[in-house]
Amino acid sequence: MSIDPMTVSDLARVLAEHDQFWDGRDVRFLHHSVFVHEFGDTCLTARGADGRIDGYLLGMTTPHRVGYIHVVAVRAAARGAGCALALYRAFAAAAAGHGADRLRAITTEANTGSIAFHRRLGFDVARVEDYSGPGVPRMVLTRPLPLPD
C-alpha cells in the first residue's frame, strides 16, 4: 500500500465511487475540493498494488495545533487490512510536521465503528451537547501526538 497526497482528480474518483466507501450513506456533502486545494499535503489516499484508491483521509492542521481529521473512509473490499491505520499514521506525521500536538475527529453517536476505531488508537471520547447546533450532539475524539507504533 502506498500513501500519497490526494489530488483533485483523486477526489473526483472517490466521489464517483462513493457507495463503495460509505455503505449507502450519502456523505458527499463533506467532500469539498477546497480541502485538497488548500490542505493538499494533509489530504491523503491509500492505494493498493493495483493503483486503486482503497482509502482516503481529508484533514488539516488548525492554528491551535490540532490535526483535524475531517473525513476518512476505506473501500468495503479493502477493510481489515490496516488501510485506516496507515492513513492515520501518515496524517499524524504530516500534522506534527505542521506543528500539531494532538489529533481530533468528530462523529455522530450512531457511528459506533468509528468510535471503537478511535478508542483502539487511544483517543478520548466525549459527547458534546449542541456541538452541531441546538439539540445536535457530537462525539469529539481527541488524543495527543504521536500515535503509538
Q: Does any domain span residue 111?
A: no
Count of CB atoms situated within 10 Å of the CB of 23: 9
What's the pLDDT score for residue 149?
A: 78
Question: Using one digit for the tens of pLDDT, what is the confidence trace for 61-103?
Answer: 999 999 999 999 999 999 999 999 999 999 999 999 999 999 9
Kindly report the CATH number assigned to the domain that includes residue 66.
3.40.630.30
Q: Does any domain span residue 122?
A: no
Q: Does any domain span residue 84?
A: yes
What's the pLDDT score for residue 148?
A: 82
Number of structural domains the chain divides into: 1
Inter-residue contact 66 to 102 (CB < 8 Å): yes
Alpha-carbon distance of 57 to 35, in angstroms, equals: 10
Residue 71, domain extent: 2-102
Question: Using one digit for the tens of pLDDT, what is the confidence trace for 19-63?
Answer: 999 998 999 999 999 999 999 899 999 999 999 999 999 999 999
Q: Does any domain span residue 146?
A: no
